[in-house]
Amino acid sequence: MPIERVDTTPYADQKPGTSGLRKTVAVFRQPHYLANFVQSIFDTQPQLAGETLVLGGDGRFYNREATALILRMAAANGIGRVVVGRGGLLSTPAVSALIRKRGAAGGIVLSASHNPGGPDADFGIKFNVANGGPAPEAVTQAIFERSRTIDGYALVTADAPDFDRPGTSAFAGLTVEVVDPVADYAALMERLFDFDRIAAAIRGGLSVRFDAMHAITGPYAAEILARRLGAGADAVINAVPSEDFGGGHPDPNLVHAADLVAQVMTAGDGPLFGAASDGDGDRNMIVGRGMFVSPSDSLAILAANATVAPGYADGIAGVARSMPTSRAADRVAAALGVLAFETPTGWKFFGNLLDAGQATLCGEESFGTGSSHVREKDGLWAVLFWLNILAARGEGVADVVRDHWRRFGRDIYTRHDYEGVDSGSADTLMGELRGRLGDLLGTRVGSTEIAAADDFAYTDPVDGSRSERQGVRILLADDSRIVYRLSGTGTAGATLRVYMERYERDPARLEDETQGALAGLIAAADEIAGIRRLTGRERPDVVT
């Protein structure tokens, strides 16, 4: 088949963020835009030549078109084999698992994760390296630098091969292997968790409701929860992936999964256990009758109970959390006598720790949790871990959480998101904060004062790489914390995230309502940074 070299000119905006390149569909559909970025991957990753590449995405609008283009370009650039999910579909953790199982040289994930989908919404692409994890900063920087100078790309002129039927075919020297998106992932979950015990608990009355949010985890949850664990067809709702996620926002939190939360939190005939996952299957939300589990607490509880699951029966080496995530996991690590790490936000920072055997469980406050089984966060994995814990303990979600608080104390924690903030205003806010760090020391905040303030920087303990300007931390004398950072996952304006955290040991205060318990910190966070003054926002758009 003929190979064509297409002349092109660079785009200046192809710098990947914390989770790859995310833009609106309209941006990606500009002439040569996606092809420029894909060619930049191939040009800077020579190890892909003649080797295996895994390819799949969350099924959002433009997924099929992008899959077909990448197959044509992979053939023209000398890739040996592409393992692609049927229909171009693979969850992000399934991509990671396939890279690792097949010994692939890398993978391309087509997703904008929890961002909305559709022709007027968002699309994304990221490159994962041979360990199955997101490309580290040195790789993404190289891809970006190439995208700034690119003047052409190569593709096979013929139409892409059929990727809707499982099987293997040849395409212009490229072997294209179409696989069931679910099978390998489901088999991995069966090795990690006690499916017999979970199924017995479900038969015994542990009712389950999982909201797939019209996204990629629908088929995975239907196979694992409904069929293999016997939870029944009605246990999985919104199970059919759609290009626009059913018109919803595929972000599993209290705002966007409000219907599920209402079903579970209200006493009556509703399910005892509820969960949801996001657009590409790497995030999770856990709720039980009368109890929402914060992602920070979830990570800590998984760590404290890890040995009930067969895949972690020998214990864990350590726990890693992103800096804005609450310190609840640190307290568990200290009690267990295992390592604890604080990293910048972005799953790529966990990869070296996992590869080196220094961490087993990892988590971020943005509803992402995972382990050494892959190199991505994994929404359905977290759900199954929780079900394994509930089955082993014979308790409900609220009982498990309250017992954890009694044992370790509670890090009362919230995140306030200001979305679509003018980028200039957001940069000014963070710049002013950074410029005043030294002057903040000793400033009174209610009944306490600021004891430390810094701009978080991280030196990787494995390879010595350095990451700076990762968010402003304000530590108060009473051990409370305020953190400010700009998110790299949006596609319009800037998202300012503000995190407030206070540690509580008093048994009488462990169940205080979160926003009320943190009211003083919330007010102080606004005053210290001038949020209203600089952004014009009276309140956050999302509170979790």
Count Cα neighbours of 106 within 13 Å in the Cβ-side half-sphere.
22
Active-site residue, 113 included = yes
Structure tokens at 319: 């726990």
Interstrand relation of 284-288 and 318-322 (parallel, antiparallel or unpaired): unpaired
Question: Sign of dihedral through CA atoms 527, 530, 533, 535?
Answer: negative
Written as six digits, the tokens of 285 are 């939300």
| 3-class state of residue 387 by DSSP | helix
Cβ atoms of 456 and 470 within 8 Å: the answer is yes
Q: Are 113 and 122 in contact (CB under 8 A)?
A: no
Q: Please, are residues 118 and 329 in contact by the beta-carbon 8 Å criterion?
A: no
Reading the block at residue 228, the tokens are 């293999």
Residues 6 or more apart whose CB falls under 8 angstroms from that of 513 comprise none
Q: What region does 467 belong to: left with phi over 0, alpha with psi -120 to 50, or beta?
A: beta
The C-alpha atoms of residue 146 and residue 142 are separated, in whole angstroms, by 6
Structural element, H or E, at residue 290: none
Q: Which of 111, 113, 147, 480 is catalytic?
A: 113
Contact 97, 181 (CB under 8 A): no
Token pair, residue 93, equals 């953790």
- 10, two tokens: 């660079």
Asked if residues 125 and 144 have their Cβ atoms less than 8 Å apart, the reply is no
530 HSE (CA, 13 A, CB side): 13
Bridge partners of 92, per DSSP, are: none
Joined together, the tokens standing for residue 55 give 């390819």
The one-letter code for the residue type at 440 is L
* Distance separating alpha carbons of residues 31 and 37, to the nearest angstrom: 12
Rg (the chain; Cα; Å): 23
CA angle 482, 112, 70 (to 5 degrees): 145
Active site residues: 113
